[in-house]
Amino acid sequence: MDGRNNFLAHSLPVRIMHWIGAAAVICMILSGWQIYNASPLLPFTFPQWMTLGGWLGGGIAWHLSAMWVLFADGIAYLAYGFLSGHFRRDILPPRPTIILRDLVDALQFRLGHHLGSYNGVQRLLYMGVIIVICLAVVTGFSIWKPVQLGWLAGLFGGYPVARTIHLIMMALIIGFLIIHLALVILFPRTLVSMLAPVRSDPDNAPQGEPR
């Protein structure tokens, strides 16, 4: 057996932080919809069964609690990603020509999937959602404390603009989750690899470099 197939598709820290982050993001989305319903920005509200918290105060409590979990998990993930080389090795997008090639293959349903190796489109999406989540957290802080953190809201053009950006970031995160879940349905092994120490596919892990 090729020794390169002995590397894990996802390391234990990545798997743990993935599920903590996923739970926190889902709680923030559902509680965020509860908060949104109290003062809708658009001409619609979310059904009560799609929200978390029961009322405005409960939604805020859930939102803030999940926010601190996501913040701590995000800091840990960023630190691990940089120190372990995970970002450079697995997340950093390749050259635009490779991304374009993989995007064309994906649109034609010809793009393969290998455990332990992200194609150009996946890398771009993962890097993009990391940036989007960071913006969601920062704008969330600015609209949570618009007086104490007025300077932060000012960087985004004021409270109304910061709130709009925050909602747009939420919509982008939901869009990413839909794509992510669709890929999991198409390639169920990816879910298994996030639950258990599954080996990567051959030729996906460089010698001497842990996943």
pLDDT tens-digit series, residues 163-181: 999 999 999 999 999 988 9
Same domain, 208 and 112: yes
pLDDT category, 202, cuts 50, 70, 90? low
pTM: 0.84
State the Cα–Cα distance between residues 85 and 104, nearest whole angstrom.
Answer: 28
| Averaged pLDDT, 128-153 | 91
Same domain, 96 and 26: no
Place of tokens 């120190």: 83
* Domain annotation covers residue 4: no
Same domain, 34 and 120: no
Same domain, 149 and 71: no
Residue 99 lies in domain: 85-211
pLDDT of residue 209: 38
Same domain, 75 and 93: no
Looking at 64, 82, 100, the residue that finishes a domain is: 82
* Domain annotation covers residue 179: yes
Same domain, 91 and 129: yes
How many domains does the chain fold into?
Answer: 2
Q: By 3-state DSSP, what share of the chain in percent is helix, strand and coil, each rounded to 5?
A: 70, 0, 30
Residues in CB range of 66: below 8 A, 6 or more apart: 23, 24, 25, 27, 28, 31
* Mean pLDDT rounded to a whole number for the chain: 86
